[in-house]
Structure 1
Amino acid sequence: MTLTLALLMAAQVTTGAPTTDGAATPAAAPTTVVEGTTPAQEEEDEGSATAATAATRDIYVTARRRSEQAQNVPIPLSVVGVKELDSTGSFNVARLAQLQPTLQFYSTNPRNSSVNIRGLGAPLGLTNDGIDQGVGVYIDQVYLSRVAVATLDFLDVAQIETLRGPQGTLYGKNTVAGAINITSKAPSFTFGGRAEVTLGNLEFKQAKASVTGPLADDVAIRLGLTTTSRRGTIYNVATNSYVNSQDNIGLRAAILYKPVDGLSFTLAGDYSRQNPECCAQVFVRVGSTQRALNRQYDALARAQGYEPPSRNAFERLTDLDAELNARNVLGGLSLRGEYELGGGTLTSVTAWRFWDWLPANDRDFTGLPITTLSQNPTRQDQYTQEFRYAGEGRNLDYVAGVFAFYQDIHTTGTQRQGPAASRWLINPSSALASDPSVLNGLTAENDIRLKNFSGAVFGKLNWKLTEQLTLSPGVRLNYDDKVGSYNSIVRDGQGNLVPYSGGTPRQAAQRDAIQPQSFSGEAYRAWNVTYDFTAAYKPSRDVLTYATYAHTFKSGGLNLNGVPVVNGVVQTQLAQIAPEKVDHFELGVKSQFWDRKATLNVTGFWTEIRDYQAVVNNSSTSTLRGYLANAGRVRVRGVEADFAIRPSDRLNLYVNGAFTDGRYIDFRNAPCPPELSGGGTPTAANPTIGAPGQPGTNSPVVCDISGQWLPGISKFAFSYGGEYNLPTQVLGQTGEAYVGVDASTRTKFSSNASRSIYTDVGGYTLTNARLGFRTDSGVNLFGWVRNLFDAEYYEVLATTPGNTGLIAGNVGDPRTYGVTLGLSF
């Protein structure tokens, strides 16, 4: 079963107290600014609040589309405020994940990113525009369909709520794994602001600033800015430069208009840009496959006199010779209107958002000119409209709404082979392997399009039968319409078209390297119904128990990275992907004791998914990075337990833990791991399958991986830490000195869709520390160290194309340190 420890000091939290129900945040004063925050509260949060002076107050969340005390919400959730984000250096989702054991984030570049909760959400390492994410990301009630937003810096954020488990009857899209609900700071009619500057090693520089105030009696404005830069952590000996750098900037503006009491409009716009030289994965190891020995990495490298700059990934060296780029731009406009009507609030949220992605990669992962150009720039526009009414009666409250979503995605890409491609990709026994012109200049030009409409009607009712017992049914009717096309035209170095099948041996070799294919007009259209039911029982003021059942869907989709081509025939039957069908069970208890100085929240859950959308690789070197297939059934179960204690205003401590068991229950036609790939095809004359990693033997066509681990899930994960402060004076300024430590530990996890002996990532612990002084006047100066003990760890490992046995990976950040100066007014 899967466990998580939910930490929240909700009712009497003062500065420095844990502010989460899913992850106690050990930093400065808890931030409770949420939608509907009053100007007085906003002003208080702009200023400083030390442990000696902060007002005690409850933690409020909008998880159920209304403002409620977090401990009264029968949903396992975590809440992190702005002060916790700043003091722990959690300026993006990757950093935030270190505070929350069951939030996972994996990324090889902004597009190839996965945000998962309890191991569910998106297949690890998948790049495919034709499917939905399982974790919904919402900023100011606007759904963002691009997970690339998770790699950007948080921009003028007030609070982040992470909701675990299906939320499809409350949020705009089916969110089968959970939702991340980000609330920006609201404009205030009281003038205020804050600024923060950070300097660190690796040339790290970060600045944040925001200001708010009135423009008129009924109009207020807020402006925010953030910028981050850092030298890369990998040295490229081919270009004599550091790569995998950071170069981010973000801008946000919001105008609040309140013409009369009970009516308000908020117009907001934002722009965020990353433009680093990124993203390099370094040589990790060679793992033998079943390919002929002279076609595996070491033999191929020797044949061209090549050796990687280092076989120790933690020397952080690479020699990639193709251009690297990861420009990632997102932005948009939204208009939210809120009108107090009857016994509730009518809300309208209208938004347009865009995403521009301009990448460049080295697809061969070596310093040889095998693939000299690889890039698939993408433009996406999305439009959303939501109407929602949150009403309240004597013994019940409810939320009902309609939601519409439309997106248009266009990807145009190019892959070009270089002069070393023939000797690397063609069987050395063929005379064509010694002729560089066969593959040199071979180019694929791709055109990928998707138009997607999604509409839903949803509602949630909380019926209070007694003072202790509340029943909460929810339902959602959803419709999806996706139409897509994939076209890959391949030409040789002389500009001649490479046919889909047939032709000369030279053309067959070119097709083995890059397979042309085309399909258009593929469509997925379907209705589905999501429903859930929660019973919550509150035997006392400080204890809440609840049980939930949810039946939900993750929308079906299209394979828009191409599908296999067999004997020249495009397998268009694989273009459509069935929806995931999810059954979810949950039991939980939220409790506080010792005069609410301690909080213990425990959740047990069991989730089963039929037709799980899994990554399938075609095990050949081609433009196809993978295609999707539906696994029969997967299961994730576990227990989460979060504990927080604040014995005095001087000290707070927390520990969050999770035990998670995620497995394929039925997946009999899965892609094989690299050690069982690349060999010959079994025949009646020679049916024997070779031993794993045995060169020159037969490989199975498919593998039964039923019972194996789901990728990305550690069986045990923990986050823990605390902060101690002491009142003092420095240079005549009254305030407090403080020291804080936060750590996260996770055990081994699989980093490949089909678990491989080469791609398990070993467990590791990361420890962060800070030491500082903050004043009643709003000054906060502290030094910090991240990865204090300089742990060497991988964020993700990946098999590379072609079954050569090369394993590449993303090494985690080394020890970093710096100083931060913040000022609030």
Structure 2
Amino acid sequence: MKSVFAGRTGQAALLVGACGLALAFSAAAHAQDAAASAEEEAQPAPPAAEQVAEGNEIIVTASKREQTLQDVPIAVSVTSAKTLEQAQIRDLKDLTSVVPSLRVTQLQSSANTNFIIRGFGNGANNAGIEPSVGVFIDGVYRSRSAAQIGDFPDVQRIEVLRGPQSTLFGKNASVGVISIVTAAPKFDFGGNVEASYGNYDAVVLKGVVTGPVTEGLAVSLAGGLNKRDGYNKDLGTGNDTNERDRWFLRGQALWEPNAQARVRLIGDYSKIDEICCAVVNLQPSTSTVAIRALGGQVNGPNEIYSNRVYSNFDSTNNIENWGASGQVDYDFGPLTFTSITAYRRTNALTNQDSDFSSADLIGVNAQDQAIKTFTQELRVATNMDGPLNFLVGGYYFNENIRQANQLGWGDDARSYANFLIQGLSGGALSVPTLEATFGALEGNPAKYAGQFFAAGQKLDERYRLRNEAFSFFGQADFKIGDRITVTGGVNYTKDRKRYAIDINSTDVFSSIDFDNPAYAPFRRNLLLGGALSRAGVNPSDQAAVAAFATNPATAPTFAAFNAFATANQNNAAVNPLAGLRPLQYLPAAIPVPNSVEPGRTNDDKFTYIVRVAYDLTDDINVYASYATGFKASSINLSRDSRPFASDREALIARGLTVVNQTYGTRFAGPESSTVYEIGLKADWGLVTANLAAFDQRINGFQSNTFTGSGFVLANAGKQSVRGLEFEGTVKPAKGLMLNVGMTYLDPKYDSFILSAVGDLTNTRPAGIPAISSTFGASYDYEFGSGDHLIVRGDFHYESPVQIVEGLPGFLTAGTSVAVAAARPFRREVNEANASITWAMASGFELTAWGRNLTNNRYLLSVFDTPAQPGSISGYTSQPRTYGVTGRYRF
């Protein structure tokens, strides 16, 4: 293992530093043991819930059996219910502030959330991409981001497992798992209710009640409402955006007919109806000038974080998500049989003003998406006192996605395009001129009159994806003596996908073939005019042209210009109309399946894990593991889905190509991951320390890049990351806990030749900070009355990082990819969160809280602005939020 982690600058030093920090924690622990021992003996044991929150005895089920966090030899972070409440973590995207190895971002809509662990992750903005990070709620896999947002009042803990997970989770997750565990119904009556009010008129109401119905049946009902005004003012529509408007209901029943059997049924429904998500302009261009010339507005570069944006219609999100699951557990001697059956449904209606200005350029960008998912898991696990314990199981996954999109021009599109075309041609061309010229050359001068960029012309897109997969998995732990445990596991996954794509365009300008032989005279005149302009002659001044052509000194030059124009009038490589191609924004496409492209993928893979854990002492254990992961092919369900270049000749031979046919990818092939990891876990009572060093590699990483018109989905040849993770806690005094989490990552594209922005081989992937860290402290002071004063704070830091490798779409004329990559679009995160709680013995609690107290603002993402050559836009982070919360437990 030693050679695996050698070879990158600074890593050995960081490892030594982290080990030194662990040793310092150890010394602090031993120094305090003697002083604390007598005090602990004199104190009554705290209630179980409080123990869970304090860290040392956190129970996790990452290994599919209950173990303490310190005993389980897996790189896993656990956030308890107490931390979730005190840190005011509203949904999964807030988890980043307490789990430094995790990054969560919400971008295009309320239905798009991307999860990244150790620098790897994808899945947002394209329903055909299965996320690399799997999200499970009470053992049920949530396949898409819209189904993963929640604000449950009965969350028991959230476990973040790092690295490939396949031998314990039937649904293979190539880079990690987020497992959310909620409290089962209880046979004692109880519950809690909570109300919060914060800035931006934020109102959160939620609660849960649980209790027995009969001796063997208990139920619980949870519900919540989350509303907030948007923190961005849209000066175009007059409304707020980036608001919150969502609610949910969740019911559970737990039936225990006898000591051996348990049945847990869960049903839930949630609704989101929000205006989201605001985009700001980061780099204006001539397109921005055109928008303003039409009376439209776009924010200036000095207004990026002013919380002001411009749209001409609200970007709406109407999302409903519901489902039901049933888990049956039966104990038969040392065996526990488990069945988890689930059906889920997500419906999402969204519409976005995708020109991100108050001008009506893009009149509609709407999506109607429906996802139906059925899963079935069967497993049997042992819990024996002997040296061997094992788990074996099978998993079935069936998903059906239907998606319809509309993308079309608005009322200002024609005037906007005319402004750009006049600018590009120095006033020589215009939309009416092009319409008349193309029509005349095709034999009908009126053919295209008034047809270019007409309002209402659009793309109508239809996508269908059916995914069926099954897997068999198992893992066994074998103890050798009292201190060594050897673990081995295997998973076999078979995945089939069938997809259909049907895209129809009514955009007349996008149907024009600039290489049409009929346009040769027009191209010849443009080539000649361009040459004359470069020679200082105005091609529109006939007298000047005649003088240049007949002057003995310049006549040979004119003849050469004329010869060049004539010889190259049909040369696509120097077509003078090529500069207009970025405005052919809504091209037609070949439907799939067809006689060349069957519209299906079939993948299968064996993955496995080998691990050795050794208890050095009763307080310290170490482990070393090697694991592999797998994710099947992902399908590009976007208008940038294009035939593979390898199918070009066959498509042409069968007459299937369309005007302006381009080639790219329909899908990205499977990605497979491997990780070498060594770790140390120590628990000295008052101090805990967890350290992991890893080398993780993904072959065929599925990269999804927005190009300004759609998403390019392609496989990176190989991407790797080496890193260190440290998590530790110290309790230096009664009621006081200090915690730290640090992650160091050194990522690299080992091979990525065919990226959307050129060859990225041997470069650092963008968006992955070298250092992510969280420092936290909490103090719980108990009064003689039984009341508690609890103060908590944490600080989250991410080192500066370049946000994007390059901007692949509409680069400014003359700008190379290398220059684009160097643009100063960088992110650094410095966020402080804090809360103070008065918890009364009666069960009532009052909390004052604040998130991002320093109002640290940064860019989440950067991309080419749709339909605006040279312009760049981005999403910004959330500003400071604060408020008060009242809670009553009963």
TM-score (structure 2 length as normaliser) = 0.78
Written as runs of structure 1 = structure 2, the 5 A alignment for 1:607-622 is 607-617=696-706, 619=707, 622=709
Give unpaired runs (5+ residues) of structure 1.
10-16, 18-40, 289-295, 673-702
Letter of the structure 1 residue corresponding to residue 696 of structure 2: T
Are 1:742 and 2:794 matched, yes or no?
yes
Q: Deviations over 1:42-71 (max 9, x none)?
A: 9964xxx599xx999822111011111111
Secondary structure at the aligned position of 1:95 is classed as: helix
Distance 1:760 1:602 in 2: 32
Deviations 1:791-825 (A, max 9, x none): 22223333323462322222222222111111111
Q: Which amino acid in structure 2 is aligned with residue 107 of structure 1?
A: Q
CA–CA separation in structure 2 for the residues paired with 1:331 and 1:762:
36
CA deviation map 1:476-522 (0-9, x unaligned): 010000000111111248xx995899989899979812011122240
Report the counterpart of residue 542 of structure 1 in structure 2. Answer: 619
Counterpart of 1:790 in structure 2 is 855
- Judge which range, 662-671 or 428-437, deviates more: 428-437
Q: Output the amino acid matched with 1:670.
A: S
Within the candidate set 470, 480, 485, 1:455 is matched to: 470
- Aligned-residue Cα RMSD (Å) equals 3.0
Whether the aligned pair in 1 keeps the contact of 2:511 and 2:660 (CA below 8 Å) is no
**2:290 counterpart SS class:** helix
SS in 1 for 2:204: strand
The answer to whether the Cα contact below 8 Å between 1:500 and 1:516 also exists between their aligned partners in 2 is: no
> Which structure dedicates a bigger proportion of its chain to strand?
1
Higher relative contact order (CA 8 A, sep 6+): 1
2:584 partner letter: D
Write the deviation string for residues 158-194 of structure 1: whole angstroms up to 9, x where unpaired: 1111111111111121111110111111011111111
2:242 partner amino acid = N
Which deviates more, 520-529 or 746-755? 746-755
1:439 maps to a residue whose letter is: F
Which residue in the other structure is 1:641 paired with?
726
Normalized per residue, which structure has more helix?
2
Aligned to 1:597: 686
Task: Say whether 1:66 aligns with 2:65.
Answer: yes
Q: CA deviation at 1:392?
A: 3.4
Larger gyration radius, structure 1 or structure 2: 2
- Partner SS for 1:148: helix
Q: Is the 8 A contact 1:155 1:251 kept in 2?
A: no
Contact 2:253 2:264 (8 Å CA) reproduced: yes
Partners of 1:55 and 1:601 in 2: how far apart? 15
CA distance in 1, matches of 2:672, 2:54: 46
Aligned 8 A contact 1:752 1:797 in 2: yes
Q: 1:519 aligns with which of 580, 586, 592?
A: 592
SS at match of 1:73: coil
Asked if residue 584 in structure 1 is aligned to residue 675 in structure 2, the reply is: yes
Which residue number in structure 2 is paired with residue 681 of structure 1?
Answer: none
Partner of 2:446: none
Could you tell me which of 356, 364, 375 is aligned with 1:373? Answer: 364
Equivalent residue letter for 1:84: T
- Residue 465 of structure 2 corresponds to residue 442 of structure 1: no
The change in CA–CA distance for 1:552 and 1:323 in structure 2 (over 3 A counts) is same
1:644, 1:344 → 2: CA distance? Answer: 36
The alignment status of 1:325 with 2:316, answered yes or no, reads yes
- 1:339 shift after superposition: 0.2
Please name the residue that 2:524 is paired with: none
Deviates more, 1:330-339 or 1:628-637: 628-637
- What does the per-residue CA deviation read over 1:127-169, in whole Å, with 9 as the maximum and x for residues that have no partner? 2222311111001101110122334424521111111111111
**1:155–1:250 CA contact under 8 A, matched in 2:** no
Q: Displacement, 1:230? A: 0.6
Q: Name the amino acid aligned to 2:324.
A: L
What amino acid is the match of 2:586? I
> Which segment is superposed worse, 66-75 or 401-410?
66-75
CA distance in 1, matches of 2:66, 2:513: 58
Q: What whole-Å deviation, never above 9, does each CA across 1:635-678 have from its counterpart, x for those lacking one? A: 11110111210122221111111111112111122222xxxxxx
Contact 2:92–2:104 (CA under 8 A) maintained in structure 1? yes
Q: Kindly, what percent of the aligned residue pairs are identical?
A: 28
In structure 2, what is the Cα distance between the partners aligned to 1:57 and 1:549? 27
The aligned residue for residue 532 of structure 2 is none
Provide the secondary structure at the position in 2 that maps to 1:72: coil
Task: Rate the CA distance shift 1:551–1:792 in 2: closer, same or farther, 3 A.
Answer: closer
Q: 1:179 — aligned with what? A: 177
Match of 1:362 among 353, 357, 370: 353
Distance 1:758 1:297 in 2: 19
Structure 1 residue 316: Cα displacement: 1.1
Q: Does 1:142 align with 2:156?
A: no
5+ residue gaps in structure 2?
6-10, 23-28, 30-44, 436-449, 520-576, 644-656, 808-820
Q: What amino acid does structure 2 have at the position aligned with 1:404? A: Y
Give the 3-state SS of the residue equivalent to 1:94 in structure 2: helix
Change (3 A) 1:327 1:94: same
Where 1:487 maps in the other structure, the secondary structure is: strand
Q: How many residue pairs were aligned?
A: 738
Q: What's the CA shift string for 1:451-478, capped at 9, x where partnerless?
A: 0001000001111112111111110010
Point out the more displaced range, 398-407 or 499-508: 499-508
Q: Cα distance, 1:206 vs. partner? A: 0.5
Following the alignment from structure 1 to structure 2, what is the Cα–Cα distance between the partners of residues 651 and 462?
Answer: 37
Cα distance in 1 for residues equivalent to 2:401 and 2:742: 39
CA distance in 2, matches of 1:607, 1:107: 25
CA distance 1:418–1:42, change in 2 (3 Å): farther
Which SS does the other structure have where 1:71 is aligned?
Answer: coil
CA distance in 1, matches of 2:177, 2:152: 16
**Deviation, structure 1 residue 776:** 2.6
Residues 652-706 of structure 1: per-residue CA shift (max 9 Å, x gap): 111111111112111122222xxxxxxxxxxxxxxxxxxxxxxxxxxxxxx2212
SS in 2 for 1:710: coil
Q: Give the aligned partner of residue 344 of structure 1.
A: 335
The alpha-carbon distance between structure 1 residues 163 and 56, as it changes in their structure 2 partners (threshold 3 A), is closer
Q: Distance in 2 between matches of 1:105 and 1:748?
A: 17
Cα deviation code 1:1-38 (max 9, x no counterpart) = 788989x99xxxxxxx9xxxxxxxxxxxxxxxxxxxxx
User: In the alignment, residue 427 of structure 1 is paired with which amino acid?
Assistant: I
User: Is structure 2 residue 792 aligned with structure 1 residue 727?
Assistant: no
Correspondence for 1:25: none
CA contact (8 A) 1:329 1:355 kept: yes
Aligned pair partner of 2:493 in 471, 475, 478? 478
Q: Quote the offset at 1:204 in angstroms.
A: 0.6
Deviation, 1:631, is 1.4
Matches within 5 A, 1:74-93: 74-93=73-92
Q: Deviations over 1:433-463 (max 9, x none)?
A: 7887511221111111000001000001111
Offset from partner CA, 1:524-582 (integer Å, 9 cap, x none): 01211111111111111111101111122121122221424787376677223211121
Matched, 1:382 2:373: yes
